[in-house]
A and B are shown apart, each in its own frame.
Chain A
Amino acid sequence: MKLSYDKEMDEALRRHARRADGSALPAQDGAHMDADEISAYAENALPAATRLRYAAHLADCDHCRRLVISGTLAANVAGALEQQATANSTPAHASSASWRGWLAALFSARALRYAAPALALVLVGTVAFIVLRQKQAPESAGLVTEQRRGDAQMPPGNAPAANGSMNSAVTSPATTETSELDARESSAQTSANSATGGRAATNAQPTDELMARRAEESGVGASSQTIPQAAPAPAVTHEASPRAGATPHPNTGLTMSAPAEAANSNAAVARERSRQPAGVREGELVAQSRDDARRNAPPAPPPSATAPSGAVAGAGVAADSAAGPEERATQSRRRAAARVASPRAQAQREEDQTRSETAETRRAGGRTFRRQGNAWVDTAYRSSLSTISMSRNSEQYRALVADEPALGRIVQQLGGEVLIVWRGRAYRIR
């Protein structure tokens, strides 16, 4: 029903328009709009109340209306309006309309075309990652747990800063390095398996298992067969463990700080180790990790108050003293492995820290800025802040500096890309 109404009304209006209505006002100079009014109206540059006034004239004056029409079409206002409509549907505006608009944009055909394969890739990657992790989970879990405990313990920083840094350096880079090692091992193993074919694999695997069993039982025997280089390491760590035994101090920094030289030798050991055949190394680490997991399981849930790495050391010590020289060797090797990353990482961390205190942070205008990549980032920055980007060459930036000269001075002082928090907003200046 409504359709026929519209049709009739539409037709009525069409015919009505065709009638000579003579509505063009006489061409009095005063009555018409001037070029400035016409172009301002056509570009939608007038305030709402003013627009209404001109609309009244335009509705009745053919002459001015035609000029406005050609001005509007020329200014491509239609295209700009559509752009504005999509811009308004960004999450910046908190309204339900924009929510839907944002969702609509998210699920639009174009986005989906790229999102679908991307998602598929991500899924495949995640699954592969999980599978790989599961293979290593028992081994690395133990290492990670003890290292995390070490990390948690550190912040009550009675330790000298260097120690603290070293320890935390031990924990996180150690974790990454260990997991890197693990990953490398597993990938090395996989490639070894695939490359050398079934025979090598089957050879490697029984060897690993054999080694593992041997390590479990006799410790030194099997390991000493395969890893002669490990010999110096236990000696070194022997040095460390008595100290650890003597002072199971929460401050594991002491424990760890011992081997400046040991660190080097550990590093050397590690490097040599990395040159070993993949399968052998894998087996060794597997053995070690399994030992770790089992050994650390009993003392595993320590209250955070107690010395975590100290507990490790303590457990290691206890285990050492309990298990005898073979066990001690294994333990030491394990700890050496854990510390494989530490020397290199320690040095790195020290470097980072000192740098962060000088060249990596700057103070300007009462704010502190940290270097991140190519940009100076305000330490007060939070991702929850609304961020406005602008370039130094833009009118927007010049207006901002005119309003806030202090901000301009800071940005000028820092140079390059700056992310600064100002009056509850974040500005990214390029």
Chain B
Amino acid sequence: MSRNEATTEQALLAGAAQLLARAAEARALDVAAILPRLRLTLDKYLLRDQPEASPQEIKDFLARLHADDLLLVIACERGDEAAWNAIVAGFQAVVRSAARGASAGEAEAEELAQSVWAELFGLRARADGQPAGKLAYYSGCGSLGGWLRAVVGQLAIDRHRRVARLVQTEEPADFDHLAREQSHGEDGFRPAVAPDPEQALTEKETARALHTTLARVISELPPEDRLLVKLYYVDGLRLREAGAVLGVHEATASRRLTRLHAELRRSVETILTKEKGWTAEETARAFADMTGMETDLPQLLAAESMSGDKPKKVIGDK
């Protein structure tokens, strides 16, 4: 064992002992019983991204694990009856409420909850005959309640995928999404009929170019910035919620978003002028057109599909 591995192992042992000590109920477990699980967790969540983590960082990471939840789960896996009773008694309500949130009706929710418990109990055997309990995947990083909610959510999505093509969870832009899918091709923008077909074409091209460039620039953003953009614009979250997902305060999220606006704009303008040969004026106009354009697309589409010659609104007149 290299020196690094030795110190890691030492830190792991110390952390395991501390975890047992700080739990309210040790459930007749000892360091040997929990060590393998802790080692896996440590590798998966700390050492994979920080292979040179110091013993203190390892200790701190282990100190943050939910001791009681983890010991409860491990005891259940070892067949401890009292632990099973405890987990059902303690978390039945959580599973049920999560199931209700992911289901259309009470019957469906009940069925979903039962499936979850069945999966936990491991009644669905794996191909090699080993019980396929999901409990083995609980690491103790998050709370047991949170993990159970996620399990319910995943199971619900799997079910719905089997039932219908569309994903169950709502997002505000869905309707527009659908509308566009049905009636448009690749891009989501279609102006109303303009008196000047050439102008309309130009505008369409302009917008398409802008969006393509924007897509490229966004994909090059660092992960958390990209995630923020998605959370706020695609998922329609409020800044506070988006910040919560990222683990930052609302004010921080707001500052980041403002910074991103400026950065993205600069990048898009640079690409459009340098690579596509646009003038600064053209670029500015492309952005300005964003706010001046017709936004009520569904109505627009309905009008358009009814009669092609009737102009709903003239665009481009400044």
Interfacial chain B residues near A43, Cβ < 8 Å: 141-143, 146
Interfacial chain A residues near B223, Cβ < 8 Å: 52-53, 55-56, 59
Determine if B141 and A45 form an interchain contact, defined as CB atoms under 8 angstroms apart.
yes
List residues 134-171 of chain B with CB under 8 A from any CB of chain A.
134, 137-139, 141-143, 146-147, 149-151, 153-154, 157, 161, 167, 169
Per-position 1/0 for B215-248, Cβ under 8 A of A = 1001000011011011101110100110111111
CA distance A21 to B176 in the complex (A): 13
Residue among B63, B177, B247, B287 having the largest count of chain A Cβ atoms under 10 Å:
B247
Given contacts A11-B290, A13-B214, A35-B151, contact A65 B141 (CB under 8 A): no
Residue among B63, B138, B235, B245 having the largest count of chain A Cβ atoms under 10 Å:
B245
Residue among B22, B214, B246 having the largest count of chain A Cβ atoms under 10 Å:
B22
CA distance A13 to B218 in the complex (A): 10
Q: A401 → chain B, closest Cβ, in Å?
A: 7
Determine if A67 and B211 form an interchain contact, defined as CB atoms under 8 angstroms apart.
no
One of A9, A19, A35, A393 near B150 (C-beta < 8 A): A35
Interfacial chain B residues near A72, Cβ < 8 Å: 241, 244-245
Determine if A39 and B146 form an interchain contact, defined as CB atoms under 8 angstroms apart.
yes
Determine if B247 and A44 form an interchain contact, defined as CB atoms under 8 angstroms apart.
yes
Is A423 interfacial (CB-CB < 8 Å)?
Answer: no
Is B61 interfacial (CB-CB < 8 Å)?
Answer: yes
- Nearest to A61 among chain B residues (CB) is B230
Q: A406 → chain B, closest Cβ, in Å?
A: 15
Determine if A78 and B248 form an interchain contact, defined as CB atoms under 8 angstroms apart.
no
Determine if B287 and A8 form an interchain contact, defined as CB atoms under 8 angstroms apart.
yes
List residues 94-138 of chain A with CB under 8 A from any CB of chain B.
none
CA distance A58 to B226 in the complex (A): 9
Q: Which of B81-89, B124-132, B193-201, B260-268 contacts A (4 or more CB under 8 A)?
A: B260-268
Interfacial chain A residues near B139, Cβ < 8 Å: 36, 40
Determine if B230 and A47 form an interchain contact, defined as CB atoms under 8 angstroms apart.
no
List residues 47-83 of chain A with CB under 8 A from any CB of chain B.
47, 49-53, 55-56, 58-60, 62-63, 65-75, 77-78, 81-82
Determine if B211 and A19 form an interchain contact, defined as CB atoms under 8 angstroms apart.
yes
Is A6 interfacial (CB-CB < 8 Å)?
Answer: yes
Number of A-B contacts (CB under 8 A): 215
Is A370 interfacial (CB-CB < 8 Å)?
Answer: no
Determine if B141 and A46 form an interchain contact, defined as CB atoms under 8 angstroms apart.
yes
Given contacts A15-B189, A74-B149, contact A49 B21 (CB under 8 A): no
Is B187 interfacial (CB-CB < 8 Å)?
Answer: yes
Is A199 interfacial (CB-CB < 8 Å)?
Answer: no
Is A161 interfacial (CB-CB < 8 Å)?
Answer: no
- Nearest to B24 among chain A residues (CB) is A395
Interface range, A side = 35 or more
Task: Please classify the interface of chain B as helix (H, G, I), strand (E, B), loop, or mixed, using the class held by over half of its residues.
Answer: helix
Interfacial chain A residues near B237, Cβ < 8 Å: 69
- Nearest to B139 among chain A residues (CB) is A36
Is B133 interfacial (CB-CB < 8 Å)?
Answer: no
CA distance A402 to B139 in the complex (A): 22
One of B189, B215, B288, B290 near A21 (C-beta < 8 A): B215
Per-position 1/0 for B258-297, Cβ under 8 A of A = 1001101100000000000000000000011011000000
Given contacts A6-B258, A59-B226, A59-B227, contact A73 B17 (CB under 8 A): no
Determine if B265 and A20 form an interchain contact, defined as CB atoms under 8 angstroms apart.
no
One of A45, A65, A398 near B142 (C-beta < 8 A): A45
Interfacial chain A residues near B264, Cβ < 8 Å: 9, 13
Interfacial chain B residues near A69, Cβ < 8 Å: 231, 235, 237, 241, 245
Interface range, B side = 35 or more
Determine if A35 and B137 form an interchain contact, defined as CB atoms under 8 angstroms apart.
yes
Given contacts A40-B45, A59-B230, contact A78 B18 (CB under 8 A): no
Interfacial chain B residues near A66, Cβ < 8 Å: 167, 169, 235
List residues 61-79 of chain B with CB under 8 A from any CB of chain A.
61, 63-64, 67-68
Determine if B224 and A52 form an interchain contact, defined as CB atoms under 8 angstroms apart.
yes
Is B173 interfacial (CB-CB < 8 Å)?
Answer: yes
Interfacial chain A residues near B49, Cβ < 8 Å: 47, 49-50, 52-53
Interfacial chain B residues near A359, Cβ < 8 Å: none
- Nearest to A400 among chain B residues (CB) is B22
Is B46 interfacial (CB-CB < 8 Å)?
Answer: yes
Task: Please classify the interface of chain A as helix (H, G, I), strand (E, B), loop, or mixed, using the class held by over half of its residues.
Answer: helix
Q: A165 → chain B, closest Cβ, in Å?
A: 47
Interfacial chain A residues near B262, Cβ < 8 Å: 5, 9
Q: B159 → chain A, closest Cβ, in Å?
A: 13
Interfacial chain B residues near A38, Cβ < 8 Å: 150, 153-154
Is A275 interfacial (CB-CB < 8 Å)?
Answer: no
Given contacts A47-B50, A74-B149, contact A5 B230 (CB under 8 A): no
Determine if A82 and B249 form an interchain contact, defined as CB atoms under 8 angstroms apart.
yes
Given contacts A7-B291, A40-B141, A59-B223, contact A18 B23 (CB under 8 A): no
- Nearest to B189 among chain A residues (CB) is A15
Is B188 interfacial (CB-CB < 8 Å)?
Answer: yes
Q: B284 → chain A, closest Cβ, in Å?
A: 9
One of B138, B153, B248, B261 near A6 (C-beta < 8 A): B261
Is B210 interfacial (CB-CB < 8 Å)?
Answer: yes
- What residues make up the interface of A, taking CB atoms closer than 8 Å to B? 5-21, 27, 34-36, 38-47, 49-53, 55-56, 58-60, 62-63, 65-75, 77-78, 81-82, 85, 393, 395-396, 398-399, 401-403
- What residues make up the interface of B, taking CB atoms closer than 8 Å to A? 17-18, 21-24, 45-46, 48-50, 57, 61, 63-64, 67-68, 98, 101, 134, 137-139, 141-143, 146-147, 149-151, 153-154, 157, 161, 167, 169, 173, 176-177, 180-181, 186-189, 210-211, 214-215, 218, 223-224, 226-227, 229-231, 233-235, 237, 240-241, 243-250, 258, 261-262, 264-265, 287-288, 290-291
